[in-house]
Amino acid sequence: MNGIVLVLNQDYEPLNVTNLPRAFRLVFGEKAEVLEYNHQMIRTPRTEFRAPSVIRLQHRIRRPRPRVKLSRREVFIRDRHTCQYCGRTAHDLTLDHIVPRHRGGLHTWDNLVAACKGCNHRKGSKTLDEARM
């Protein structure tokens, strides 16, 4: 039995690939269902089976997500080197805390954006509403 089988999580997220014997054990152990078959037939003395090419697990497997380091460079890449307030591409970008730190804003991915110097200066330590942005 040769061949590889794509294994999907319960939510259809690709997890990995496995070999046919392992895929059969998952399917016949009722831990996975076959979503797609390939053209290969597996024969035993009593019966024959179509070989799966894609299986989906019955229960969700939680996987740790790799954490991307929070840095200026990564924020600028995420924001495509564009000021998030005026939309201009700038070479002299700064980081801006949407909710200012002195008002409880955290140094997190959802509170940091790329901003040109002009917009960052205009916003200052105000909220977006206060700065009318």
Domains, the chain, ordered by start: 4-57 (no CATH), 72-123 (1.10.30.50)
- Which pTM does this prediction carry? 0.51
pLDDT digits (tens, 9 = 90+) for 88-126: 998 889 999 999 999 999 999 999 999 999 999 999 998
Instruction: Encode pLDDT of 9-42 as tens digits.
Output: 999 988 999 999 999 999 999 999 999 999 899 8
What is the DSSP secondary-structure string of 71-96? -HHHHHHHTTTB-TTT--B-SS-EEE
CA–CA separation, 27 vs 29, rounded Å? 5
Decide: 38 and 52 in contact? Cβ < 8 Å: yes
Which structure tokens are listed for 71? 């840095």
